[in-house]
Structure 1
Amino acid sequence: MNFISTKFVSAAALAAAMLASGASFAQEAAPEAAAPIDTAAYGEAVDSILADPKFDAAVQYLDANYDQMITEFEELTEIPSGPFMEEAISARYAELLEASGLTEVKVDEEGNAIGVWKGTEGDGKFLVVSAHLDTVFPEGTDVTIEWKGTEAHAPGVRDDKMSTAIILAYARAMKDAGIQTKDDILFVGTVGEEGPGDLRGVRYLFNEGEYADKIKGFFSVEGGSAGSATVGGTGSVRYRVHFKGPGGHSFGAFGLVNPAYALADFMTSFSQIQVPTDPKTTHSVGILTGGTSVNSIPFSVSADIDMRSNEPAELDKVHERMKVIAEQAAANENARRSVAEGPITVELEQIGLRPAGKTAEDTEIFQLTKAAFEATIGDFKGEGFGSTDSNMPMSLGIPALTIGANSGIGGRGHSLDEWLETAKDKTLPNMKATLAVVLANAGMGAE
């Protein structure tokens, strides 16, 4: 007998639904034959920017006003902004966007704070430069920075509060230096990037917001130094797996089916799913809940699970196998013990879905970013995968990269003792490099 809930659809149906709603597991395949990449042209475009006195003036502005950026970084870090707690920081970030000289500033209906940089040849399409405002830390977390010299120690300093301050500084430096770009730029502080937020900020930006269908390129600035780029979005599917039964007294009702045993059966089999190391594919049980007392057979228990892969097809395999295992675990417990008071049932509640995708090497955004990093810091480490705001545009076929701009010196991300080195001599070279990336992609110098 099949006791599994039908709240979810098959992987194929899910993919079809996502395509229909504008959020697919992966972008469409590129044409088989591709023209040779003219890397010299991209290098020349970057060189012209680096030789422009206005670019040098912008870097000098960043240098001279570095302390202002650090002050804003500290302020933004110390505004609590855990999952679904971004209202205060969104409002303040909008004020800072406006103070940085941007126009059409607003907080959209999902909570993203947005400001517009007007280009000289705007075609109705925007380049997005973003950083996420939220953190993983729940309400009540102490987010006060403890300074140890130039090291900032506090939850969220590296992921991603420094980036939010950096892109504000970029807007001010560009304005002060009199820089012009061909393209319009959206500076965005996004919400819902972390954990249960499930990319809700960028989902809204690309699918429902005012700028949906008006974005042609996307940068997410995250914790880390310049020179690397996340070019692929790791896809993930998350579920809360509920096992339910009649419950009863642990002694008096002994022999009845037990949801906890069914969950244990499920977790054991789920943990044994074989996955490839390349493409990297993973599965995990993260949270266990349920039960009422130590001397009661629980009537409900659940596990929050996470499945990820750099390859959509592999993610689909784990996804499908998980559903079979859940059904079998319920059936096994119903066969082992009495169902006189009712059987074990299982319900799969989807709690997260991050689409996968990749930005191809032959795209302009990839090549200009590569050229800018090579020209400024002498290195480019591409081809990385991760789960960031860039997943959403990548899945829609919109060129996107996640890049860094801070010192790259720090650690303990997503922990209470997260820290970041903020010294100017360690950070400014990376800010310069990433600013060059932004301006190259926005078409600096267009009259």
Structure 2
Amino acid sequence: MAKELPALSESVLAQVQKVAKLEKVQKALEIAKRDVQRAMDEQVELCEIPAPTFMEEKRARSVMERMKAYGLTDVKMDEIGNVIGVRKGTVEGGPILVLGAHMDSVFSIDTDVKVKKDGIRYSAPGIGDNCSGLRAILQVLRGLEEADIKTKGDIWFVGTVGEEGNGDIRGSKHLCNNNKIDGFIAVDSTDVGRVLYGATGSHRWRISIDGLGGHSFAEYGKTPSAIHAMARAIQKFADLRPAADPKTTWTVGTIKGGTTVNSIAAHCEVEIDMRSFDNKCLLALEAEILSKFDEAVAEENASWTITDPERLLKVTKTAIGDRPAGTRPHDCPVLQVARSAQKVLGIELTQYVRSSTDANAPMSHDIPSTCLCSGGHAENAHNVKEFFEMIDTHLGPQLITLAALSLVGVEDEEALLPKKA
């Protein structure tokens, strides 16, 4: 939890309570409870369509068809594969709110994703992360359509690509970079007691050191070792301890190189993960660590009496991940509305934290945003033994519905989400 959690705005809470009492809103909330099995069946159907990162198209096509079947007429797939379904508001120039759930999974295309059911438990890779999120936003859409709810602002229902791993939240970054949106609710994970107020940023690099290499005895002194240079580099920052507040970390996650025990290594590479709650701290850490590889290669080259430039080591730095950090103020309208909606629905706020989700992108753009959860209970994410249990699965769609309607405005109730300048 945050160290200092301010009280809810009484005016925001009162407004969300008014929205919750509207007859059509009550109907949409009841539909979410009534349709839990239908929604669960849809979650299963989507899970059984393989969708590894960078290979989401088949699942995306299914999401598109479902959005159209549930009443959206403005549905498209953008340049990189995001599915965007627009539910227009009644007020021209009203706020635009995105409800986004990522479509990709961490599993390879040949992974068995057939769902096995045992009572309330459904087991399959990806069943929770993030087919539960897709289930939730599609249920929100069905509820709004069946209850005939007219909103003042627009709600975009979005299935994003590339949230996992090396996908590097490319879907949400593309969405935020190329569209004018006023608010964003990512839907990921299952614990409806969780609200994210911040985004953990991460920068990832692959650093390669390359030279000619050669026989360990015959070429000794004639060509420097890529492995020796890499060892020098890591030693330079092995004792580096970044800021504890805001929390900032680093690790060398992988290292590989060389060919045989009796060879001078021609190649060595590492992959480094750096994280922080603060972009400035992250950039400062990145600059410090990356500079050590240049120093180490220069030192390794200089330690031998080699005059041929072709025999000298060279360093190559390749960025393989860039998730921006961001933190929302506690009075952010999306956070205040989300917490108020929890209170109205009787959901206890159990986690008020920061994490890495599709919400990283809008937070880094200073867009009011958070990540809410789908409802239910899931364990073993990113593991072939992943499972999802049908426990209060209606609460996710109810929470997202009430928060979204309060933000964009409904009937005579004003929108709590301001338009960005």
Q: 1:86 and 2:56 equivalent?
A: yes
> Aligned letter for 2:24?
K
- In structure 2, the residue corresponding to 1:237 is in which secondary structure? strand
Once the two structures are overlaid, the 10-residue window that deviates more, 359-368 or 396-405, is 359-368
CA shift, 1:378, in A, is 4.3
Distance 1:152 1:218 in 2: 29
Letter in 1 for 2:293: A
Change in CA separation of 1:338 and 1:381 when aligned onto 2, cut-off 3 Å: farther
Structure 1 residue 55 corresponds to structure 2 residue 25: yes
Structure 2 letter corresponding to 1:188: V
Q: Which runs of 5+ in 1 are unaligned?
A: 1-35
In the TM superposition, residue 289 of structure 1 has moved relative to its aligned partner by 4.0
Once the two structures are superposed, residues 2-42 of structure 1 have per-residue CA deviations (whole angstroms, 9 ceiling, x without a partner) of xxxxxxxxxxxxxxxxxxxxxxxxxxxxxxxxxx9982221
Q: Distance in 1 between matches of 2:226 and 2:307?
A: 15
Contact 1:83 1:135 in 2 (8 A): yes
| Residue 218 (structure 1) aligned with residue 184 (structure 2) | yes
State the SS of the aligned residue for 1:388.
Answer: coil
AA at the equivalent of 2:187? V
Cα shift readout 1:141-184 (whole Å, capped 9, x = no counterpart): 22222333222222222221111111101101111112221111
Q: Contact (CA 8 Å) 1:226, 1:431: kept in 2 or not?
A: no
Query: 1:351 matched to which residue of 2?
Result: 320
Give the Cα–Cα distance (whole angstroms) in 1 for the partners of residues 385 and 75 of structure 2: 34
Alignment-mate amino acid for residue 152 of structure 2: K
Deviations 1:198-243 (A, max 9, x none): 12112221223xxx12x11101011022232111111221111011
The whole-number CA distance in structure 2 between the counterparts of 1:201 and 1:290 is: 33
Aligned partner of residue 158 in structure 1, secondary structure: coil
Q: 2: distance between equivalents of 1:355 and 1:38?
A: 28
Quote the residue 1:417 is aligned against: 385
Task: Give the equivalent residue in structure 1 for 2:228.
Answer: 261
Q: Aligned partners of 1:162 and 1:337: how far apart in 2?
A: 58
- The one of 318, 324, 339 aligned to 2:285: 318
Equivalent pair of 1:232/1:383 in contact (CA under 8 Å) = no
Taking a change above 3 Å as real, the CA distance of residues 278 and 38 of structure 1, as seen in their structure-2 partners, is closer
Distance 1:285 1:148 in 2: 41
Number of corresponding residues: 405
How do residues 33-432 of structure 1 correspond to structure 2 at under 5 angstroms? 39-123=9-93, 125-208=95-178, 212-213=179-180, 215-255=181-221, 256-293=223-260, 295-337=262-304, 339=306, 342-381=311-350, 383-407=352-376, 409-423=377-391, 426-432=392-398
Shift, 1:248, TM fit:
1.4
Q: Distance in 2 between matches of 1:203 and 1:182?
A: 26
Q: TM-score, normalized by length of structure 2? A: 0.89
**Cα offset, 1:331, TM superposition:** 2.6
**Residue of structure 2 in register with 1:30 after alignment:** none
Is 1:433 aligned to 2:403, yes or no? Answer: no
Q: 1:261 to 1:419 in 2, by over 3 A?
A: farther
Equivalents in 1 of 2:336, 2:369: separation in Å? 12
The answer to whether the 8 Å contact 1:190/1:202 transfers is yes
Sort the Cα spacing of 1:264 and 1:356 in 2 relative to 1 into closer, same or farther, 3 A.
same
| Residues 225/168 of structure 1: CA separation in 2 closer, same or farther (3 Å cut) | same
CA distance in 2, matches of 1:290, 1:81: 32
Aligned equivalents of 1:394, 1:220: Cα separation in 2:
11
Which deviations, in whole Å up to 9, do the C-alpha atoms of 1:389-446 show, x marking residues without a partner?
A: 1111111111111111222x322222222222124xx222343223211221121234
> Are the aligned partners of 1:122 and 1:184 in contact in 2 as well (CA < 8 Å)?
no
Deviations 1:32-59 (CA, angstroms, capped at 9, x unpaired):
xxxx998222112111122222222212
Identical aligned residues as a percent: 35
Shift in CA distance, 264/411, structure 1 to aligned 2, threshold 3 Å:
farther
TM, length-normalised to structure 1: 0.84
Which amino acid is 1:190 matched to? T
Amino acid at match of 1:303: V
Contact 1:273/1:318 (<8 A) preserved? no
Q: Is this contact kept in 1: 2:24–2:147, CA < 8 A?
A: yes
Change in 2 beyond 3 A, CA 1:338/1:68: farther
Cα 1:244–1:295 change in 2 (3 A) is same
**Could you tell me which amino acid in structure 1 is paired with residue 171 of structure 2?**
G
Amino acid at match of 2:335: F
